[in-house]
Structure 1
């Protein structure tokens, strides 16, 4: 981690720690009173002049960006499934080529046997033996005939088995293509939903005047501080004393190095990330790959109690597991919040926690 990144990280964590101290002393953050109504203007639109209206905008934006997060997880899941299906189709294609080559070789052998029989007059091997005047030749020929019969049966059996394999590979490939197409359609639909949600949110924000945007930003910060304070007031942070594992330290270092990079849905680096793109790449950089999406991280990784979490663990948020962040200690997280924001340090309790998972359990 470079000096600049380390300074940013230290400052951000210091802010979170300061909040911890305030909460521990029993002081709670309170929302200031409503802002005075703006005077009527003949040039500016009368859009949302009151704080109560801005709170409604804040709530609406939260819903829109959460909807985008839900769609992003669906997009990422479809993308991962499509990658796996494509790899499966490539493998099946190789198997089909090998089966065709094997079948061609067997047919060549069968053709060679048929040509050899033609050269002997087309008589079956048994008939040739009966017409032989040499007893020893008869006995030698009988043994050879049995061997040829066995070889022929094996060859026929191998041809049948290869043809069966070939049909199986072809049917499997057809099924995988259908699944791949379904994944592509799901990904396209999710992409459309993401863009619709983001476009609506941006359209709503663009209608706000400069002072309203500033006040909205303060409302968001105050809401985050209140949520963090409530979480800290439970005393949970005082009981968290776990130390990062060696891999956890590497994951935290990677996540810290991404501070300031923009959120882009579906992105997993190196220049931008979405929430699960950041956490999955952090653990991949630590040499311990984990599932790509927040929902799969919640399903597949080991769950641990909040009181037992340690730096490097992942905190899953919301009932539908559509957001994930990395715990870095002192009640703080590093995460990629949403479109329009950058990878940042925040309080771990600023969003509703579903649970905690440990990649390297």
Structure 2
């Protein structure tokens, strides 16, 4: 059995097991048995355990905070990618300026030599030089060479002008790229602040929960994902999806599934940690297909396909703002880097709101 098939089978088994667990009857969380309060027995401090309703509010708040962190992460990654491109363009422009300056210096030397040669030829009018010449035929031949020299000089001056104009344009372009680079560095710094702010707020909110509450919250998160996945599968969509992975798609799937268990880290592209688009972009780079770095640009630039036509290796874009991306494995499963505090894992393809599907190797 090929590695791609093994990966898909494993994904199906893991997903089936997860669904089986989540499909079990709801777990009842009993209130702690009250301690009898007889004579001499101190009255226990009233518990402040959050109700399921309160925890649901916390779950939604955490989802919102981590969603905003994901949006900021995409902005950070986009600014980083643009800054890298602009730095490369500035280096290229600097090379062109050095090359152009050397060419201009060479042309100036040639122009100077031509001017000195013309000066040594004297300043008499051509008709006087012809009258004084002992050999008119030789003079006319020389005059023709002079005209050729004059044309060459004019061409040389024109080339000098073009080279000078090119240098001026290179300098303007470099200045423009520097301004864009600085703007993207500022955008990256702002995005970094926003990421830190949102993650810190989420961690603070979670830290206020007792251990039992965190466990119940985890159950609520699983139940919400299961409910969404069940609704997606109930539509019958899976019966329409039977696409086979391409060769590069199998390579991308293998790479992505090999990263399972590695931690999420915003801005990371591996090999030790990843964010959502860092995982998908690196998986496809390994498969020989470079794709945009961010989930938003992947949505904008890659070829879109209908959900019913998707195949393993395709990328599923989530949420209206394209702030999350995962790789489709087949059998209704995805592999993705979910959010801070989590690891690369397998989940249900319908566990989040799907915006659409894109194909890197269309």
Q: Give your verdict on TM over 0.5.
A: yes
Deviation at 1:160, TM superposition (A): 0.8
Partner SS for 1:338? coil
Relative to 1, partners in 2 of residues 1:83 and 1:51: Cα closer, same or farther, differing over 3 Å? same
Q: Is 1:212 matched with 2:213?
A: yes
User: Partners in 2 of 1:250 and 1:191 — Cα distance?
Assistant: 32
User: Partners in 1 of 2:43 and 2:202 — Cα distance?
Assistant: 26
* Equivalent pair of 2:7/2:257 in contact (CA under 8 Å): no
Partner SS for 1:106? helix
Which position in structure 1 is the counterpart of 2:148? 147
User: Partners in 1 of 2:149 and 2:314 — Cα distance?
Assistant: 66
Partner SS for 1:97? helix
Which position in structure 2 is the counterpart of 1:115? 116
Partner SS for 1:168? helix
Runs of 4+ in structure 1 deviating by more than 2 angstroms, as ranges, are 5-13, 17-20, 27-49, 114-120, 122-134
Which position in structure 2 is the counterpart of 1:73? 74
User: Partners in 1 of 2:84 and 2:104 — Cα distance?
Assistant: 30
User: Partners in 1 of 2:201 and 2:212 — Cα distance?
Assistant: 21
* Equivalent pair of 1:242/1:308 in contact (CA under 8 Å): yes
Deviation at 1:46, TM superposition (A): 6.3
Structural mapping, 1:321-332, within 5 Å: 321-332=322-333
Which position in structure 2 is the counterpart of 1:180? 181
Relative to 1, partners in 2 of residues 1:329 and 1:6: Cα closer, same or farther, differing over 3 Å? closer
Which position in structure 1 is the counterpart of 2:294? 293
List per-residue Cα deviations over 1:75-113 (Å, max 9, x = no partner). Answer: 111111111111111111111111101110011011112
* Equivalent pair of 1:72/1:265 in contact (CA under 8 Å): yes
Which position in structure 2 is the counterpart of 1:161? 162
List per-residue Cα deviations over 1:38-69 (Å, max 9, x = no partner). Answer: 97999999665222111111111000000000
Give the aligned CA root-mean-square deviation in angstroms: 3.0
Which position in structure 2 is the counterpart of 1:352? 353
User: Partners in 2 of 1:196 and 1:252 — Cα distance?
Assistant: 33
Deviation at 1:115, TM superposition (A): 2.5
* Equivalent pair of 2:318/2:354 in contact (CA under 8 Å): yes
Deviation at 1:307, TM superposition (A): 1.2
User: Partners in 2 of 1:106 and 1:35 — Cα distance?
Assistant: 90
Deviation at 1:302, TM superposition (A): 1.2
* Equivalent pair of 1:126/1:145 in contact (CA under 8 Å): no
* Equivalent pair of 2:248/2:287 in contact (CA under 8 Å): yes
Deviation at 1:15, TM superposition (A): 3.4
Which position in structure 1 is the counterpart of 2:271? 270
Q: Is 1:230 matched with 2:231?
A: yes
Which ranges in structure 2 are unaligned for 5 or more consecutive residues?
36-41
* Equivalent pair of 2:14/2:346 in contact (CA under 8 Å): no
User: Partners in 2 of 1:221 and 1:311 — Cα distance?
Assistant: 24
Which position in structure 2 is the counterpart of 1:88? 89
Relative to 1, partners in 2 of residues 1:35 and 1:56: Cα closer, same or farther, differing over 3 Å? farther
User: Partners in 1 of 2:179 and 2:202 — Cα distance?
Assistant: 35
* Equivalent pair of 2:7/2:254 in contact (CA under 8 Å): no
User: Partners in 1 of 2:128 and 2:218 — Cα distance?
Assistant: 99
* Equivalent pair of 2:241/2:311 in contact (CA under 8 Å): yes
Which ranges in structure 1 are unaligned for 5 or more consecutive residues?
none
User: Partners in 1 of 2:7 and 2:204 — Cα distance?
Assistant: 32
* Equivalent pair of 2:107/2:160 in contact (CA under 8 Å): yes
